[in-house]
Amino acid sequence: GAVVSQHPSWVICKSGTSVKIECRSLDFQATTMFWYRQFPKQSLMLMATSNEGSKATYEQGVEKDKFLINHASLTLSTLTVTSAHPEDSSFYICSATPLRDRVNYGYTFGSGTRLTVV
Amino acid sequence: KQEVTQIPAALSVPEGENLVLNCSFTDSAIYNLQWFRQDPGKGLTSLLLIQSSQREQTSGRLNASLDKSSGRSTLYIAASQPGDSATYLCAVPTGGGNKLTFGTGTQLKVEL
């Protein structure tokens, strides 16, 4: 089955620093990956859609310069939280689907990254 | 705009009970629906994917049904166990099929 690996699973950083989160599709290729943010006891909020070889598409209200997304290959997308502040502390989850067959395979999610900014 | 609602928001049952989780969506033009499970502090685990052409999909003690015309899906869990305790989310593709819209979730607790 489709497997998505997300790293790190948790990270603590100082305010003002940048943090990079990786999302890899291990056994399939994905031209598109998705980045979500989840606040405590709430459902997932789509932040951006990461497209291989092109610019990411951000949802309304999400700062492009704050959340930098790079999708350099068909199996790797990264989310960099720049100049992190305590309000950026959250649970970030990525998702991907096989290149041609999302109708049949649906979406697979990573294990998430807990970011704490102190 | 697609809106997905799940009821109940929370459910607490004794072990062994059969239970039904409900998911409703406003736009029936979907090609599939997916049920996920999320444990606290973890990512999402896909439970069942049901195509728009299907009415049911089964995996072990789980059975999902889909009625596109009425905009509803149900997840049936048979003989519930404490290990089933988690938040259950349904999701449908939107935005041309390239994004997922999630339901509000049902937090399930199965007690000994």
Q: So what's the pLDDT on residue B94?
A: 82
CA distance A112 to A74: 20
Cross-chain Cβ contact A107/B91 below 8 Å:
yes
What SS3 class is residue A88?
helix
CA distance B87 to B74: 15
Compute CA distances A61 → A22, A66, B2, B4, B20, whole Å.
23, 11, 19, 21, 36
Q: Which of A4, A43, A57 to mutate to test the interface with B (most CBs of B within 10 A)?
A: A43
Cross-chain Cβ contact A103/B31 below 8 Å:
yes
Q: So what's the pLDDT on residue A2?
A: 82
CA distance A97 to A56: 16
Q: So what's the pLDDT on residue A58?
A: 95
Q: So what's the pLDDT on residue B96?
A: 67
Per-residue pLDDT of chain A (118 residues; tens, 9 = 90+): 789 999 999 999 999 999 999 999 998 888 889 999 998 888 899 999 988 888 899 999 999 999 999 998 989 999 999 999 999 999 999 999 876 676 777 889 999 999 999 9
CA distance B28 to B56: 16
Q: So what's the pLDDT on residue A37?
A: 96
CB atoms within 10 A of CB A15: 12
Q: So what's the pLDDT on residue A34?
A: 94
Strands (E), chain A: 4-7, 10-13, 19-25, 32-38, 44-51, 57-58, 67-73, 76-81, 90-96, 108-109, 113-117
Contacts of A32 in chain B (CB under 8 A): 98
Closest CB to B105 among A32, A34, A43: A43
**Which parts of chain B have pLDDT scores under 70?**
96-97
Q: So what's the pLDDT on residue A30?
A: 87
